[in-house]
Each structure stands twice: as C-alpha cells, then as structure tokens.
Amino acid sequence: MVTLTSTDCLRELADRLTAHGLRARLDQPIGRPPALHVSNPGLPGSAEHVFLEDQALWWSWGDLLAAASNLDAAAAGICRMLGARVAAMN
C-alpha cells in the first residue's frame, strides 16, 4: 500500500483540476495546513482556497469538501464552484 503525503494529495488534485481548465497553485504557509489556490482563468475573480487537514479537503470558509481519498468528488465540487466544465469527470 502506498501512502501519499498531503502535498502529493494536493498535487494530484491540482492535476485533475488543470485537466478541466482550472489553474491550481500549491501553497504551504508556515504553521498552517497546505492548501491549493484554484482559479478559473475564464471567469475573472473566480478563485478559491482548498485546505487539506485531518485526511479531508476543506473549503476556505470551513465546510467539508470531500475526504482526501475521494479526489474525484473534490475535483467535481471545485469545478462546479468555479464554473468549470464537469461533464468529463470520471
């Protein structure tokens, strides 16, 4: 069994999001959980931070997005929130 680190998980999520036309940047602030800054270049002002903490992905306002093990659900939710295409999600 392979165990992914938190940054591996966020990088994998970033790859899935960029495949749907979003931009994703990994942030690792000191003393805070790692996060992705995700934006939709086709929708100016459309951006969000997603944090990884306690094996879960969280929206910046504190609501649960998805379990870290369910990156498909996380990517679909982020795409919906930022107005990206979601039809091709597997």
Give the tens place of pLDDT for each residue, 54-83: 899 999 999 999 999 999 999 999 999 999
Q: How far is CA 6 from CA 33, 44, 46, 52, 69, in A?
A: 9, 29, 25, 7, 11
pLDDT band at 87 (very low <50, low <70, confident <90, very high): low
11-36 mean pLDDT: 93
Looking at the predicted structure, is the pLDDT value of residue 4 above 60? no
The 10s digit of each residue's pLDDT in 32-58 is 888 999 999 999 889 999 999 889 999
pLDDT of residue 1: 37
